[in-house]
Amino acid sequence: MSAGAREGTVVGVQRSPGGVPKLAVTGPVQVTAEGLEGDWQLDRKHHGGPDRAVCLFAHEVIEALAREGHPVSAGSLGENLTLGGLDWSLLGGGAVLRVGDALTLEITRAAHPCKTIAHCFADGAFVRVSEKTSPGSSRMYARVLQSGVVSVGDPVVITQPRRSAIEPDPIDD
């Protein structure tokens, strides 16, 4: 990933009938304002909904976590789309991404880590992916501005960089 990279690739597409991990999908998946077709969250108070329809994570952060010894892989932290090659610092409040031919997403906030992903960390310290404690290492939530289909290998373009710093999900620690 180079500094300022506005173009990347969908490295992984994951969904689950409920909870984590999200499991890899091999074919194209429809994405609407409600999220990925066939995806569901067990805790709908803190996950899902129009402003948290899609969860994104950087492939490079997953690789860095694995090098640190954490048993993490694409989807294990609950992200729907694993993206590679993007400058994650360009993504924050109001950033817009085009994924594939039509899917358009707007970043709404950082995804708050919770104890359900503690098993993905060697020391159980899931706060390792908190925007508060490790800026730039968090997953991000997005709303769907335009529905579309997503597949592994699709191009991702940041069409509008962030308008504001990424805000953590407003959930008490």
pTM: 0.90
Q: What is the mean pLDDT of the chain?
A: 88
> What confidence tens digit (pLDDT) does each residue in 114-157 have?
888 998 999 898 989 998 888 889 999 999 999 999 999 999 99
CA quadruple 64, 114, 11, 28: dihedral, nearest 10: 170
DSSP codes joined into one string, 22-70: PEE--S-EEEETTEETT---S-TTTS-SGGGSEEEEEHHHHHHHHHTT-
**pLDDT at 165 > cutoff 50:** yes
DSSP 162: -
Per-residue pLDDT at 173: 37
**pLDDT at 43 > cutoff 80:** no
Stretch 4-13: mean pLDDT: 94
Stretch 79-84: mean pLDDT: 97
> What confidence tens digit (pLDDT) does each residue in 19-33 have?
889 999 988 999 999
* 99 bridge partner residues: 103, 156
Contact by Cβ (8 Å): 25, 15: yes
Residue in 58, 53, 57 with CA at minimum distance from that of residue 39:
53
For the chain, domains (ranges, CATH) are 7-160 (2.40.33.20)
Per-residue pLDDT at 167: 60
CB atoms within 10 A of CB 18: 9
